[in-house]
A and B are shown apart, each in its own frame.
Chain A
Amino acid sequence: MKYLPLVLANLGRHKRRTILTILSVALALFLFASLRTVVTTINASSRFGGARRLVALNATGLVFPLPLSYANRIKAMPGVHNVSWANWFGGRYGDGKRFFANFAVDPESYLAMYPEIVIPPDQRQAFLQDRTGALIGKRLLSEFGWKLGQNVTLQGTIFPGDWTFTVRAVYTPTDPAIGDDVLIFHHAYFDERIGRAGIAGWYIVEINDASQAPTIAKQIDDAFRNSSSPTKTGTEREFQASFATMWGNVSLLMGTIGLAVVFAILLVTANAMMMSARERTGEVAVLKTIGFSDRLLFGLVMLEAGVLALTGAFLGLGGAKLLYKATNFNAAGFLPGFNVTTATLILGVAVAVGLMLASGLVPAVRAARLPIVQALRHVE
């Protein structure tokens, strides 16, 4: 490490070049971290799901409802602890530009099943007692400037008309995959307004023993196989994963772009390193003459490349981490829990090390192999 000052002095010689190179590495790793986080966020949401929660849907497709009467039949099955149900509402707020999920649930059983949804006790009580009350994520509160007790009107797209709810409670999710921009309201009120159609979009079934999941899922499906609305039951994780696959080739796309970005910046860094090395041919010869070994010179060039790459990585990765954290970014609700993970940061550092090796290798080998006599001819 005693040679670090020498390396820094070399880097300081062309301050502009050093700064620009570091900045381009920083930008590349910023992009790399952002793209990678899109993928990890989608993956994390597909892994979400309580081990003891099953989801039952209509086997024909998720746009078809199930009869509300299934609740009691499922609840009576052995191994089932509790049942709740929900229905997608698809309401639009204001001009509809800011989309957020909203659905009707059976509040008491739903909240009991989702300890990830944290609500202050008094608000929870207020929500449970008000049939037209709404429970909203804390992001909606800050984004629309809503207040507790305020009336909020959604326009139904599937269920026509204006639906007014009173904001009674605000929740904070402990698992980011749940999303903090959801509006939840009472299924009883929903059912009443659509003329007691007695429908549920999906059932959530809490079971006693997670290892029994496949057996119970089959038991539920078997029970309704010959009815007008057969079910398809799976773990909550499978349900979530089916949404994640809807993104299609996004992971591949993000990966390809990430690769192109890193490669483009590799070219910039390698170029800068080669330019520096070429300009210093004479100096390297002098250093060799006064006794610097080939190996040491190789190391010095590599160290220089390393300082460039790692400083850039520090700025880019750190910048990404802080920026997304500070702005509470969630891609307009599409990627809840957007957070640069430690694994991504480590991968980013690995990329930077790769960048150092790839950009420093040619100049470093050249410096190590340089014949002194020839090189000194360049020195005027």
Chain B
Amino acid sequence: MDPDVINLLYIVAFILFISGLAQLRNPTSAVRGNRTAAVGMAIAVVATLLRDETGDWALIALGIVIGTVIGVPAARNVKMTAMPQMVALFNGVGGGAIALIAWVEFRDRGGDLTELETGIPLVFAAIIGSISFWGSNVAFGKLQELISGRPMKIPGGVFINGGLLAIAVAAGVAICAGSESQGLFIVLLVAAGLLGILAVLPIGGADMPVVISTLNAFTGLSAAAAGVALDNTALIVAGMLVGASGTILTDQMAKAMNRSIASVLLGGFGGAAPEVGGAGGADDGRIVRSTSAADAAIQLAYARKVVVVPGYGMAVAQAQHAVREMAKALENRGVEVSYAIHPVAGRMPGHMNVLLAEADVPYDQLKEMDDANPEFSRTDVSLVIGANDVTNPDARAKADSPIYGMPILNVDESRSVIVLKRSMSSGFAGIDNPLFYNEKTAMLFGDAKSSVSEITGELGEL
């Protein structure tokens, strides 16, 4: 096929990518936007296959079939609660593909990358791709709780990471300067991979969305770099679109959590959190009041206004449908029910909205933080279901708390609070929550789903 036709098809794909992204900004057009971008991708793939140079059809088919057989069921069957780690995994394989492509291009050229306009972007793509692959896998492991989600402190971590980056860059420079050693290229990939692992490992699970979003932008940039090396405009444009929009998205997410990107990536909650989290002794002398489902039901039934504060615990227990049932029972009794959604409730901004939408919660009952906070002083009962750090008053009051300054839901301003929780263990950020010791607070221990169902049952008997 004429290369001009292929490039024209690429241009059609760009238009679809850009308009798809623009539509993704708005809730009503987002579904269409995603599909528009997907059509753009299909066109770009077909255009590439139409190139005269395309060969090895059997191997292409093999790769695409393997990818489809793995990717489709994974995307279809993943639970909505596990969505963040799925995105991390998809991002990781993208980065891995770039690193592998860069490696093959290096081998294909017999190791000669002295042509700098190819060599530099290729080395860049290999380093970032490898960081993204391994870093995303660690992020997946943390969110899936295969690796502890707690922040870990690696002694001298900054120096180790700096050293690894220096090794990867030095190897890259040597390769561009004329070294044709494949061993050196492998050193580059391994050093970058270790850097990805060690950079993500110390970061606490609560910061993981920012990490995934950063790695997402990285993968985009390395795709663009690979595009420069391979002289392919589709890779350049799509890669840069993701690199740029991913950077903005990372920034907005970090702002929603009141964290700077730098402080997340340079150790995050790591510094102070472990000592605070481990300070079980500090709980002495403070009283935790526990309640029963029957008492909670009475309290809720005679309230005028109830605000549900859902957190990741609700999502893990798959309690969203049970919560919806309970809310219906309360509404039938004339209680006003709404949901206060913290920007980072769940494990990613917007995650909780997805989960509640799945349970058919009417959209107008979902209140974002800024709308929800003024309402708490008029609320009779706040029902905190599996949320912890986002309700922690320390974020407002205690300057030495690791989450100090994070915007929170002012649950403690409501007349009474019922907290549904499995145990007294601390939240994802690994810190203590004084809300639980507040005299207005009653704790209902147990699995969120069964607790909520019990409350609904008790409501029926009142």
A and B from one assembly? no
Residues on B close to A: CB < 8 A? none
